[in-house]
């Protein structure tokens, strides 16, 4: 099976003071997504930022300032977040996906501690006033994704034909997904994004990845497409390992701001180009957007409400 390369363009984890290359404005987010697609990403995973100060925002009107351009200028699958950012309600987090009915949206598979505050140790000067308290609040923050939340999101968004990138930060999240599969709430093929390196979730040892893969194989058999996201400096090592095991990969400035040790990535395209080169050197083929659509049973871009 060909490797699906996803790119998470801006996210809600990093703040503007961590890197000058983080896309903040609608034009920058569109440029980042289009550049990633041209570099080989079949899927672009999109959050929005307040264009005035770079704060994560769930506002569909901000998404509307970049989604049509991304759809017009590349053929990548548009994947809209439902994870949002710290402090957003579930209703706010799903507002953009509800309005635009994308082919794909992310869906976190369990409530968890989600610690961003260790980043405070490495930031000397903050560009915006909101950044330091945003990171500090994660010390006492529970990222809510209850069984009722998940079922409601699947029901509401799935009614429009949207499918899901099931984000699994720990072993229990795989079992939560299996529960919904057994009940017929979700349908195969499942797109399972196993995530490593976020404080509150699974670690970054090779055995962590192997154990989650073995568990997913046992729970889902041939009914899923496996992908891996490695946070921070662990990104390249873990996604390369996953690809060698038959998995797909996710990179991008949401997940890691580095291209190499001590070297900031200047764009999402840089990260995509790097992993595409590595995959090529390993004799692995990268899926096109249409091949990704077929593998994930997506409805196609014409069936979305992105105009």
What domain count does the chain have? 1
Q: Which two tokens stand for residue 51?
A: 């264009």
pTM: 0.97
- Give the integer Cα–Cα distance in Å for 166 and 158: 13
The domain that contains 110 carries what CATH number? Answer: 3.20.20.70
Q: What angle do CA 253, 102, 284 make, to 5 degrees?
A: 55
Lowest mean pLDDT across 65-69, 152-156, 258-262, 294-298: 258-262
Contact 247, 213 (CB under 8 A): yes
Domain span holding position 29: 5-303
Instruction: Reduce the DSSP state of residue 222 to 3 states and report it.
Output: coil
- Give the integer Cα–Cα distance in Å for 39 and 5: 10
Phi/psi for 275 (5° steps) reads -70, -35
**pLDDT grade for 286, boundaries at 50, 70 and 90:** very high
For residue 87, the model assigns a pLDDT of 86
For residue 34, the model assigns a pLDDT of 98
Asked if residue 11 has pLDDT above 90, the reply is: yes
Nearest by Cα to 11 from 71, 80, 101, 89:
80
pLDDT by residue (tens digit) across 150-181?
999 999 999 999 999 999 999 999 999 999 99
Residue with tokens 């699974």: 202
Specify burial of residue 228 (Cβ count, 10 A radius: 0-12, 13-18, 19+).
buried
- Give the integer Cα–Cα distance in Å for 200 and 223: 28
Phi/psi for 200 (5° steps) reads 115, -15
Phi/psi for 262 (5° steps) reads 75, 5
- Give the integer Cα–Cα distance in Å for 45 and 25: 16
For residue 281, the model assigns a pLDDT of 97
Residue with tokens 């192997």: 210
Contact 105, 162 (CB under 8 A): yes
């Amino acid at each position: 099976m060909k490797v699906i390369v996803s790119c998470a363009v801006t996210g809600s984890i990093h703040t503007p003071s961590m890197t000058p290359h983080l896309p903040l404005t609608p034009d920058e987010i569109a440029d980042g997504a289009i550049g990633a697609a041209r570099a080989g990403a079949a899927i672009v995973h999109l959050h929005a930022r307040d264009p005035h100060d770079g704060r994560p925002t769930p506002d569909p009107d901000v998404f509307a300032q970049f989604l049509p351009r991304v759809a017009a200028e590349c053929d990548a699958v548009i994947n809209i977040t439902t994870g949002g950012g710290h402090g957003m309600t579930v209703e706010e987090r799903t507002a953009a996906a509800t309005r635009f009915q994308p082919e794909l949206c992310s869906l976190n598979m369990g409530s968890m501690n989600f610690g961003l505050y260790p980043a405070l140790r490495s930031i000397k000067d903050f560009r915006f006033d909101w950044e330091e308290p945003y990171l500090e609040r994660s010390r006492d923050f529970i990222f809510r994704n209850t069984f009722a939340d998940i079922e409601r999101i699947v029901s509401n968004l799935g009614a429009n034909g949207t499918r899901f990138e099931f984000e699994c930060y720990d072993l229990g999240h795989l079992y939560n997904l299996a529960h919904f599969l057994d009940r017929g709430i979700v349908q195969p093929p499942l797109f399972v994004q196993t995530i490593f390196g976020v404080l509150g979730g699974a670690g970054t040892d090779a055995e962590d990845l192997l154990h989650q893969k073995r568990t997913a194989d046992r729970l889902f058999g041939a009914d899923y497409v496996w992908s891996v996201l490695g946070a921070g400096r662990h990104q390249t090592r873990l996604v390369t390992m996953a690809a060698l095991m038959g998995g797909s990969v996710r990179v991008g400035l949401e997940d890691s701001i580095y291209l190499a040790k001590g070297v900031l990535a200047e764009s999402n395209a840089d990260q995509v180009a790097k992993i595409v080169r590595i995959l090529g050197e390993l004799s692995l083929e990268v899926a096109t957007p249409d091949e990704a659509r077929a593998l994930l049973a997506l409805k196609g871009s014409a069936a979305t409400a992105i105009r």
